[in-house]
Amino acid sequence: DAKTTQPPSMDCAEGRAANLPCNHSTISGNEYVYWYRQIHSQGPQYIIHGLKNNETNEMASLIITEDRKSSTLILPHATLRDTAVYYCIVRGVYNFNKFYFGSGTKLNVKP
């Protein structure tokens, strides 16, 4: 699975959009981009995933660049409860084995 690069931390004001970037320049055509988050020491929580089209669900939007080398997770109206470590993970479409959790981005939502 391709490696990902994320900034170690970001700040966001409560109520504003949080845009979390991820670089995955070595991604191959049959690899998905997944986003998870971990709030404090709770279990990682699935947020969203996509292959090449932009995706939106009740939690977030995922924007994948046309060349698929980077993506952005958007939390449209961040709340204090969105403070967490956010992980961008690339995994093959037919790979059911591990999700590799790197260091992620610590998002601090401030009042």
Partner 1 sequence: EPEVTQTPSHQVTQMGQEVILRCVPISNHLYFYWYRQILGQKVEFLVSFYNNEISEKSEIFDDQFSVERPDGSNFTLKIRSTKLEDSAMYFCASGGTGSRSTEAFFGQGTRLTVV
32 binds partner 1 (CB under 8 A): yes
* Stretch 47-106 residues interacting with partner 1 (CB under 8 A): 49, 87, 91-103
34 binds partner 1 (CB under 8 A): yes
Q: Which pair of structure tokens corresponds to residue 24?
A: 């995955």
Selected from 8, 29, 43, 111, the binder of partner 1 by CB under 8 A is 43
How far CA 78 is from CA of 18, 47, 54, in Å, comes to 6, 14, 20
Question: Which positions lie near partner 1, rule CB under 8 A?
Answer: 32, 34, 38, 41-46, 49, 87, 91-103
